[in-house]
Amino acid sequence: MQFANWGAWVLLPLFAAAILLCIRHTRRGQELFIRRVPGVDAIEEVVGRAVELGRPVLFSIGLGSVQEMVTLQAISVIGHVAKLAARFRNRVIVPVVDPMTIPVIEEVQREAYLSVGQEGFNPDDVRFLSGDQFAYAAGVVGIMARENVGATFYFGTFYAESLIMAENGQAVGAAQIAATPSANQIPFFLASCDYTIIGEEYYATTALLSGDPVLKGSLVGQDIGKLAMLVLIVLGVVLTTYLGAPPAWLSGFLAPKGG
Amino acid sequence: MDKEAPYPPGLLQDWLVRNVFVHLYTWQFWLAIAVTVVAFFALLYAMQRFGSAGRRRLTVVCTFLAGFYYALSFFLPPGHTLAGKVIAGTQTYRFEGESTWLRDQPEGAPEDAPPVPAVRHLAGKILLTQPVEDSDAKDQPEPQEGRDFITVEGTQGPDGSWQLTQTTAGGPRPLAAAERGYSVDLNGVAGTLLLNPAPALNVAKAYETPLGNFLMVMGSFTIGLGVINLLMIHGRTLATGGSGWINSLGFFVGFLGMTVFGLWQTLYKVDPADPTIPFAVAGYRFFFDGLLTPLQSTTFALLGFFIVSAAYRAFRIQNTEAALMTIIAFVVMLGSVPLGQLLTAWLPEDGPASLLRLENVANWLLTKPNAAAFRGILFGAATGGFALSLRVWLSLEGGAYLGKEF
């Protein structure tokens, strides 16, 4: 849909308002309940395991570019993982496919190291491998084997290379956590990784890790939006079941505009 | 710039292409480059002087403006449809039209001539019969020109008026301006075409392509960052003879080979009829067709083995969920292969008992519970993505790259 239809005109501002209102509430100190996600809780444990084994951590952000929201979210998580690893003087190797992410990830890692009083960040740990999907996968697999990584994180946009990387991670005995909103890759990660963070949990990761009121409020706000969509779906099912085809004005309200 | 665009020209676009984005020659060209370079370094210096807080404020402003532009481009109505009606006696018919914007350069104009202003074209139909909107309706006759609809086309003049023609059996017929509209001939019956007031045009959409191109150009510069990163890491490993130095040597051979032969082969044109192939082209083919392509295929082919090992691990029955998944996967696999379908082939093909045939059970599992769960995940991811976009747009998102640490 290239242009907003009436549905988008009404619903998107309402969702945005719900999110901003919840952020306002949490900023004022209101406590909101957020359920724990096992995959997120396991991040510390997985990094700790790599430290105990004396093996580095590998963090792949997949094939997404820095312009994508999914990648920005992954980069936020790198900061947290790097902080955990830096506390124990461990390394986080980040192979990337988009060179534009290199300075951003370097900066995030450097700040994470400095925030725990460590200056041992090595810029060589942020590595551009290739812009090609399978060359990147082969490069990641090579790093896993050569560096004998103790933990691997897959956060971001993945395609067919997901299974190649995750199965090789299993082969080197790394503890693995995967997180992706790409629904098609979830089964592969579920089969190969110790923990998998799926769908919306992916966007909840930073809120759960940091406890930042803005992120927590946003999470509750988006749940309100989801609830509203659920109500609309149920209403649509009931109306279609009992009234047949929707009235013309409703079809026009939801019809896509501009292809 | 596109010769034909489905969207109206952007705000000030005609002025910009005629006065700002123009071809420059000789000293003007070099002066423009010099000014750009000076401006670039001045901006770089200013950003250094801004400090961290200043840079963050700049990022906040730029992010907001960019997000605002794309929101505007999405929320502003397209405005390229133009509807109306035709009144013929006591009858009223619907008119539905769509606009495109064309830039027709005059014949023989030089290639670097500034583009002419875009002219709005309208193509529409007067619907004499109500079209069938039920997509499931079958065996409906194709609508016919003259019987079911009449085509109307035209262009808009600088004063906003339309020069329209209608298609008739005898060729195009200009529509004369009548009181409040245009006179049309509906198969011998006179009518008046009344166009609705033109909707406001989306003046932001046209800039999406140029902005996308700008972003792509900026992005292509960063490939240099990647190359420098690779050269430094592998150069250091090779120089110090560190572990895996042989891989670094392989990288340099591949990198230099592909770069040299890739550039060199562009100097030659290969004639398929000529059996002799220049050395540069042969070298390029060796690196590209002989090494890169097979290596990519090999890596992809490995997936087959990995799927088996992952499936083995996934289907081990360790708890209730794993058992359920294994049973369902077994049913779906059986229902998808002829041998499995043969097991329940004795059940009738119609009637309630047919629902128990393995292929129907597999199909139901895939299209109902599986699709529902899949859509649930997509809904969650979409709302999460929306919330993250909103936070980034309004600079509420944490993270070192936005200057705010968790």
In this complex, do B225 and A190 lie within 8 Å of one another by their Cβ atoms? no
Question: Residue B190: inside a domain, yes or no?
Answer: yes
Q: How many domains does chain B have?
A: 4
Q: Report the mean per-residue pLDDT for chain A.
A: 91
In terms of domains, do B86 and B187 share one?
A: yes
> pLDDT tens for residues A212-249?
889 999 999 999 999 998 998 898 889 889 888 777 77
Question: Which one of A3, A111, A115 has the shortest CB-CB distance to B78?
Answer: A3
Whether the Cβ atoms of residue B193 and residue B84 lie closer than 8 Å to each other: yes
Q: What is the pLDDT along chain A (259 residues), one digit of tens a residue?
A: 678 888 889 999 999 999 999 999 999 988 888 889 999 999 999 999 999 999 999 999 999 988 888 999 999 999 999 999 999 889 999 999 999 899 889 989 998 999 998 888 898 899 999 989 999 999 999 999 999 999 999 999 999 999 999 999 999 999 999 999 888 899 899 999 999 999 889 999 988 988 888 999 999 999 999 999 899 889 888 988 988 877 777 777 777 776 4
A44 touches chain B (CB under 8 A): no
Residues in chain B closer than 8 A to A4 (CB atoms): 74-75, 77
CB count within 10 Å of CB B80 equals 22
Angle between helix axes A69-87 and A101-115 (nearest 10 degrees) is 30
Q: What angle do CA B371, B377, B381 make, to 5 degrees?
A: 140
How long, in residues, is chain A?
Answer: 259
Q: What is the pLDDT along chain B (406 residues), one digit of tens a residue?
A: 457 777 778 888 888 877 888 888 889 999 999 999 999 999 889 888 888 788 888 889 999 999 999 999 999 888 788 889 999 888 899 999 988 888 877 777 777 777 777 888 999 999 988 766 555 556 677 788 888 899 999 998 888 888 999 988 888 899 998 877 899 988 888 889 998 887 778 888 888 888 888 888 888 888 888 899 899 999 999 999 888 899 899 999 999 999 999 999 999 988 888 888 899 999 999 999 999 999 999 999 999 999 999 988 888 878 888 889 889 999 999 999 999 999 999 999 888 899 999 999 999 999 999 999 998 889 888 999 999 999 999 988 765 455 454 4
In terms of domains, do B88 and B193 share one?
A: yes
What CATH class has A38-210?
Answer: alpha beta
In terms of domains, do B115 and B185 share one?
A: yes
Question: Residue B161: inside a domain, yes or no?
Answer: yes
- ipTM for the whole complex: 0.89
In terms of domains, do B17 and B57 share one?
A: yes
Last residue of a domain, one of B37, B57, B75: B75
Question: Which one of A102, A188, A226 has the shortest CB-CB distance to B225?
Answer: A102
Question: Residue B398: inside a domain, yes or no?
Answer: no
In this complex, do B229 and A128 lie within 8 Å of one another by their Cβ atoms? yes
In this complex, do B314 and A191 lie within 8 Å of one another by their Cβ atoms? yes
Whether the Cβ atoms of residue A233 and residue A35 lie closer than 8 Å to each other: no
Residues near B205 by beta carbon (within 8 Å), at least 6 away in sequence: A2, A3, B7, B8, B10, B73, B76, B78
In terms of domains, do B20 and B108 share one?
A: no
pTM for the model stands at 0.83
Question: Which one of B223, B310, B374 has the shortest CB-CB distance to A191?
Answer: B310
Question: Residue B296: inside a domain, yes or no?
Answer: yes
Structural domain span for residue B175: 81-132+142-199
Q: What is the residue extent of each domain of chain A?
A: 38-210
B392 touches chain A (CB under 8 A): yes
Question: Residue B42: inside a domain, yes or no?
Answer: yes
pLDDT at B100: 87
B residues 209-248 closer than 8 Å to A (CB): 215, 219, 222-227, 229-230, 232-233, 236, 243-244, 247
In terms of domains, do B39 and B87 share one?
A: no
CA distance readout (Å), B163 to A108, B121, B155, B176: 60, 10, 6, 9
Task: Give the Cα separation of B25 and B127 in Å (integer).
Answer: 53
